[in-house]
Amino acid sequence: MRGLDDSTDVFIRTGQKAQKHVRLAWEGFINFAARDNVLEVALGLIIANAFTKVVTSFVTDIILPIVSLLPFLNRNMDQKFAVLSKGPTYDQQNGYNTLYQAREDGALVLAYGLFAETVLNFLGVSLTLYAVGNMYMMIFPDKIIKPTVRCPYCRQYISKQALRCRHCSTWQDGREDEPRSDKSSREELAGAEPSRAGQIS
C-alpha cells in the first residue's frame, strides 16, 4: 500500500532527524562540560562555598559568642530584637524570650541583632578573602587583586596601570589636557587631505 509506505518513510526521516539533533545536543554538552575553564569554575565555586561556610561558622560560633558576653548584650547577637507591635499572647512582664517566639506569636519585630550578625559574616568573609588574595600574590606572580581608579573623562573604573581608558579610549597620562596649537592642527588637516583625496579617487 502506497500510503502506508509514504507514512513509514516520513516516520523514519523524522526519527533520523530527531536522533541527529539529540546526538548533536549531547556532543555539544560534552564539549561544554569537559572544557578546562568550566571545570575550573566549578571547582572554584565548590572551594569558595566551603570556604564561606568555614568563615561563617568562625564568625557565628567563635566571634559572636565572645561578643555576646558584653554586659549590655546579655544574650546571643541573633536574639537581640525590638518589638514594634505585640502579638496576642505577649507577656507584659517578661516579653518574648526568643525571636522565633515573637514571630510565631505574630509580633512585628525589628531583628537588628540578626542583621548585625549578617553584616559581621559578610565583613569576615570579605576580609578573609582579601587576606588570602594578598598572600597568594606574595607567592605567585599573578595579580588577582587589581587596584582601580576612575577615568577623569568618562568616570568609569579602569585599572590603575592602564595607559588608555578601555571605555572612552582617552590617554591617562595627561596628553588629552594639553592645548593643541593652531599650527599643529593645520598640519594634521593638511596631511589628512591628500590621503582622503586618494581614497575618493
Sign of CA dihedral 97, 102, 105, 107: positive
The pLDDT score that the predictor gives to residue 34 is 61
Phi, psi of 74 (to 5 degrees): 65, 0
Q: Is this model's pTM higher than 0.85 or not?
A: no
Phi, psi of 171 (to 5 degrees): -75, 145
With a CB cutoff of 8 Å and minimum separation 6, the contacts of 82 are 109, 110, 112
Residue type, 63: I
Has residue 6 got a pLDDT over 70?
Answer: no
- Provide the greatest CA pair distance for the chain: 97
**4-13, 89-98, 169-178, 181-190: lowest mean pLDDT where?**
181-190
Q: What is the pLDDT of residues 81-131, one digit of tens each?
A: 888 988 888 888 888 888 888 899 889 999 988 898 888 888 888 888 888
Per-domain residue ranges for the chain? 11-67, 76-141, 146-172
Q: What is the pLDDT of residues 15-29, one digit of tens each?
A: 788 888 888 888 777
Which among 177, 142, 172 has a CA at the least distance from the CA of 159? 172
Burial 134-169 (b: 16+ CB within 10 A, else e): eeeeeeeeeeeeeeeeebeeeeeebeeeeeebeeee
